[in-house]
Amino acid sequence: MRELVLATVVAEIKNAFVDEISDPELIELLYRGVAEPLGMTLSKVGKGTASKIVNRAPQGNPLRIIKGHSQDPEVKSSIGAFFKKNVTRHFMPGMEEEIIFHFRGDIKADGKISDSKKDELLRLGKKETFDEFLGQVYLYSLTRDNVLTPEAKAKLDTELEEYKRHPLEDAEIPETIIKEEHEYTTALAAAYAQAENIKTFPMDRIGEYPKYEKHLSEQRKYYFAAEAVRRSTRDIYDKEDQFDLLKSETYEYIKDDYEDPAESGLARLKAVLRRVRDFNSNRCWLLRDTDWVGVPQKKGVCHFLVKDGTIEGWVRDDDGPIV
């Protein structure tokens, strides 16, 4: 159950920077987007203040004067240009679609955002309006209560217990492959190339190969189904240890099928995905404590194993007829 608050925005944007930026530096930078159009001068953000903001601790709300002016017409009309000039130019190349994907997920998952505000923000969630989208998302986050008081945390814990008992909504899948998909889609491309007996498979022309286009579409659905579980795991367990456990337990379950000889990489992948359908584990709270992990999510975790290097692709030098 994600919430679009300032702590969320700081975490998502910080992750996109090419060079390391500290929490105080980033919060100061973001505050400037409100202060500069109004001619305001602000003092520096201290480490302690920044820590309270990113951890949603008491006294961790945005600066009152920044929050109070976040919806001023001068600020809202200039925030896109500010982000383009001062924020997004520092991002790693090719991160736009990935960041849009994550923020769109945050917006959709936050049950406290009105439908009209969701529609307003989501309409901007595309590459052509990238800077404006991030700017307006940031300004909206300033209006939200960033602090989790004991009362608010108790209420959230109750909501989370209910949240865990319902399957997750279908994950939104980006139209094109985004940066975070590189490892597992590269492994799929190698399997397609092997099947076609060519050196390199042209993923940019996959439409010329309808059966692989359909196959890739299915694998991306599985990956993003698992990605929805990973992100929601952060919300209910405060960290990703449970998703990591899900991955490690999944690998132990499918390891023999993965290591067995196979006629081709696609045959090996098919054997693994067939095997993982029956996977279960009493050690993993995600399987015991939620209704989130079905067959698509289990298959998607296999692609996460490729992404983190546990599985080194689907093609091997010894592929061929099984004797």
Helix/strand/coil for 17: strand
Quick check: is 314 in a domain?
no
End-to-end CA distance of the chain: 51
- Cα separation, 29 vs 135, in Å, equals 12
Model pLDDT, residue 266: 97
Judgement on whether residues 209 and 81 belong to the same structural domain of the protein? no
Question: Which of 180, 176, 184 is closest to 231 using CA atoms?
Answer: 180
60 and 144 inside one domain: yes
Q: Confirm if 257 and 271 have CB atoms less than 8 A apart.
A: yes
- Do 110 and 186 reside in the same domain of the chain? no
Is 28 domain-assigned? yes
Q: Is residue 1 part of a domain?
A: no
Q: Which two tokens stand for residue 101?
A: 């994907």
Q: What confidence score (pLDDT) does residue 289 get?
A: 80
Measured between alpha carbons, how far is 97 from 320 in angstroms, rounded to an integer? 38
76/140 same-domain check = yes
Q: Does the residue 79 lie in any domain?
A: yes
Tell me how many domains the chain contains.
Answer: 2
At 285 the pLDDT is 82
Residue 162 lies inside a defined structural domain of this protein: no
Positive or negative: CA dihedral 13, 15, 20, 21: positive
Assess whether 187 and 144 both reside in one domain. Answer: no
* 128 DSSP β-pair partners: none
Domain shared by 141 and 193, yes or no: no
Domain with 220, as residue range(s), is: 179-307
Does one domain contain both 122 and 67?
A: yes
Residue 40 inside a domain? The answer is: yes
| Residue 188 placed within a domain | yes
**Which pTM was predicted?**
0.69
One domain, residues 15 and 104: yes
- pLDDT tens-digit profile, the chain (323 residues): 578 999 999 999 998 999 999 999 999 999 999 999 999 999 899 999 999 999 999 999 999 999 999 999 999 999 999 999 999 999 998 889 889 988 998 898 888 899 999 999 999 999 999 999 999 999 999 999 999 866 666 665 665 566 667 777 777 898 889 989 999 999 999 999 999 999 999 999 999 999 999 999 999 999 999 998 998 886 666 555 889 999 999 999 999 999 999 999 999 999 999 999 999 998 888 888 888 899 999 999 999 999 999 999 999 999 888 76
Q: Are 191 and 265 within 8 A, CB to CB?
A: yes
Domain match, 36 and 109 both = yes
How many whole angstroms separate alpha carbon 311 and alpha carbon 309?
A: 5
Q: Are 143 and 26 part of one and the same domain?
A: yes
- Do residue 219 and residue 126 come from a single domain? no
